[in-house]
Amino acid sequence: MRVATWNINSVGARLPRLLEWLESAAPDVLCLQELKSTADAFPYEAVQALGYEVAAHGDGRWNGVAILSRVGLDDVVRGLDGGPDYEGVQEPRAVSATCGPVRVWSVYVPNGREVAHAHYAYKLEWLKALKAAVADDAAGDRPFAVLGDYNVARADTDVWDIKLFEGATHVSALERAAIDELEAGGLAEVMPRALKYDVPFTFWDYRDLGFPKNKGMRIDLVLGNPAFNAAVKDSYVDREARRGKGASDHAPVVVDLEL
């Protein structure tokens, strides 16, 4: 079984790339983030034509998440129960579903913007609420994982030059501690194997030739419970999906399971 996560950075703008990747990589389950689409405007027909059911959750702004599955899509929950509001709105940043033998969450963790910004405090509260929301699934016997764009680089080596990030979000101690706390609830990270480079970055800025120069960050993560992680046979970042015109600034993280 193949499970993957990908910040698509606009499902409308990247639809041809998404369809091509679904056909070539053939994931059984794909978690998407940053749809930049309302749930109603999601391109259901094009994706369903390839055999995928879709659970989308979005309001058309700078967020939105979805789960695509060709092995079933049951017990769908949209939103983060107990999650905080930002400026009076609970943003569409989480969706969960049971897909065949596994249950997954697709999450798009708030960016945080700047350490002194209200969005940073919101990010920390959101991660705290996520830990509480996934606790039962994390402790269960069914294979379970929380996949997505966490907007946190867990180690200094997960950014291309840590000196450039001094005092910035994504690398702060509190953000990293929040991911550690999430793991303490019964999850552990599935680390992708290194391919071309020692560190499997998942994001490269469009500016300043970020991808050709490998000025990347590793911020897209897969955190699984023991049953999920015991079934992992391989994991990698599909850098090829980041190449060429019209690509997202993120690459998919792929996990192959033997269940």
Average pLDDT, the chain: 97
Summarised one tens digit per residue, pLDDT across range 186-197 is: 999 999 998 888
Residue 154's pLDDT is 98
Residue 196's pLDDT is 84
CB 9 within 8 A of CB 33: no
Residue 22 has pLDDT above 90, yes or no: yes
The CATH number assigned to the domain holding 160 equals 3.60.10.10
Task: Kindly indicate the confidence band of residue 145, based on its pLDDT and cuts at 50, 70 and 90.
Answer: very high
Question: What is the set of active-site residues?
Answer: 108, 149, 250
> Model-level pTM greater than 0.75?
yes
- Return all residues near 75 (Cβ < 8 A) that are at least 6 apart: 96, 97, 98, 103
Give me the number of domains the chain comprises: 1
Q: What is the extent of the structural domain holding 243?
A: 2-257
Where is the binding site for Mg(2+), in residues?
7, 34, 149, 151, 249-250
